[in-house]
Structure 1
Amino acid sequence: MSNNKEISKEKPPNNFWRYIKKNGFTIVMVIFVGVIFVSPDAKSFVLRQLMATGLFNASIDKKSADTAVANDFDFADEMGNIQNTSSLRGKVVFINFWASWCPPCRAEFPSIETLYAKFKDNPNIFFLTINEDSDPATGKAYLEKEKFSIPMYQSNGNVPAEVYSGKLPTTVVLDKTEKSGFIIQVLPITHQTNS
């Protein structure tokens, strides 16, 4: 009988910890995927890490543009002042189309900010970051939240399809003569929009 008393005094194994031990990896992955699904910042962080590994490759399409005038478009700065890209001839123009809700855009924006910080004082280079948010205040709030200093612009009217096809993010680099340019898109793009 003493044997039965000893057995009854032992605590039954804790089912909670046994369940955690058995399914820990699955629980962690479900939480990870859930956070990635609901948080654009987390998704952009993961995309940045994947880009650093080389899993995402940029595609570069060289455009020869004898029709430079046909590719010009109007854009507005944060104060509402309207300019045309034709006024930028003679400079290297870095054009980036982005939106604050776009995770690949968020993933690449720190590197664009670094590039801007390095060349912002060069009078021969102009950074034209075109925000595609439906409300410009949302894009401005994102830049302020992340403490980015790059200026934000909005397109004013139609942007030629040769420059921007509606996929985010898109980067276009025009040389000084605008005789040729490059369109750069990060591939594979997980979220694309068509204007």
Structure 2
Amino acid sequence: MNKNKFLIKNIPGWAVMLAIFGVLYLTGLHTEAIGQVQRLLLATGIKNADVPETLQNPDANAVIDAAAVANTEMAGAGFQMVDLDGKQVSFESLKGKVVFMNIWATWCPPCIAEMPNIQKLYDKVGSEKIAFVMLSVDEGGMEKVKKFIKKKGYTFPVYMPASQLPQEFYSNAIPTTFIISPAGKIVAKQEGMADYNTKEVRDFLTNMVK
């Protein structure tokens, strides 16, 4: 008995951690565990989303001309999405609104880490004039995504691609977030996780619809 205790006490720490991670991986919980750790990083404030300075000041924004908006081609023109109810939605149908689009997947720990703050942002600024597009690129099918969203209790709009992703939305990282103006232009792009539930981001979004 004493010999067994001695052997356990002498197991290297790295071996214990490897064993724990192995169990998490086999049970599918490693993504959640890593996401929780990264969420703590976001809580420190060192990963706040970048906001273009030209749009931080509402006085610096040009008045949006409705005719100009109508005659300008929107980023992502022709792109089709499908919501979690199976309804097909044209990305161009969002033209005239500020669009907050986040590309994510259920297997992505940084995506999971930033989602609670995106939900808080949606609760505060989501409206008829500010549209949220949480675009899942999961290959496991819609049911997997629906199950994940239901489990987490998120209420922001979730979509999946129904056509090829437009080149302007390609990125070397996931998650990637785009903010698109009512005129259909990409005005901000953030690769990697960030905290979007900040005053700077809220002002950035709401100032574009004034």
TM-score between the two structures when normalised by the length of structure 1: 0.71
Aligned-pair distance for 1:93?
0.4
How high is the sequence identity, in percent, across the aligned residues? 34
SS of 1:75's equivalent in the other structure is strand
The answer (yes or no) to whether the contact 2:134–2:158 under 8 Å persists in 1 is yes
- Cα separation, partners in 2 of 1:34 and 1:58, compared to 1, 3 Å: farther
- Greater strand share, 1 or 2? 1
Residue from 10, 13, 29 that aligns with 2:17: 29
Residue from 146, 151, 155 that aligns with 1:145: 151
Partner in structure 2 of residue 124 of structure 1: 129
Instruction: Give unmatched runs, 5+ long, in structure 2.
Output: 53-71, 194-210
The answer (yes or no) to whether the contact 2:35–2:109 under 8 Å persists in 1 is yes
What are the within-5 Å matches in structure 2 for residues 21-170 of structure 1? 21-23=9-11, 25-26=13-14, 28-35=16-23, 37-38=25-26, 39=29, 40-53=31-44, 68-69=73-74, 71-72=76-77, 73-120=79-126, 122-134=127-139, 135-165=141-171, 167-170=173-176
Tell me how many residue pairs correspond in the alignment: 172
Instruction: Give unmatched runs, 5+ long, in structure 1.
Output: 1-12, 62-66, 188-195
The answer (yes or no) to whether the contact 1:163–1:183 under 8 Å persists in 2 is no
**Structure 1 Cα separation of the partners of residues 122 and 25 of structure 2:** 30
**Structure 1 Cα separation of the partners of residues 176 and 100 of structure 2:** 11
Q: What amino acid is aligned across from residue 123 of structure 1 in structure 2?
A: E
Partner in structure 2 of residue 19 of structure 1: 7
The answer (yes or no) to whether the contact 2:74–2:185 under 8 Å persists in 1 is no
Aligned-pair distance for 1:30?
2.9
TM-score between the two structures when normalised by the length of structure 2: 0.67
Q: What amino acid is aligned across from residue 22 of structure 2 in structure 1?
A: G
**Structure 2 Cα separation of the partners of residues 60 and 155 of structure 1:** 27
The answer (yes or no) to whether the contact 2:81–2:162 under 8 Å persists in 1 is yes
The answer (yes or no) to whether the contact 1:58–1:186 under 8 Å persists in 2 is no
SS of 1:16's equivalent in the other structure is helix
Aligned-pair distance for 1:90?
2.3
RMSD of aligned Cα (Å): 3.2
- Cα separation, partners in 2 of 1:28 and 1:18, compared to 1, 3 Å: same
Structure number with bigger Rg: 1
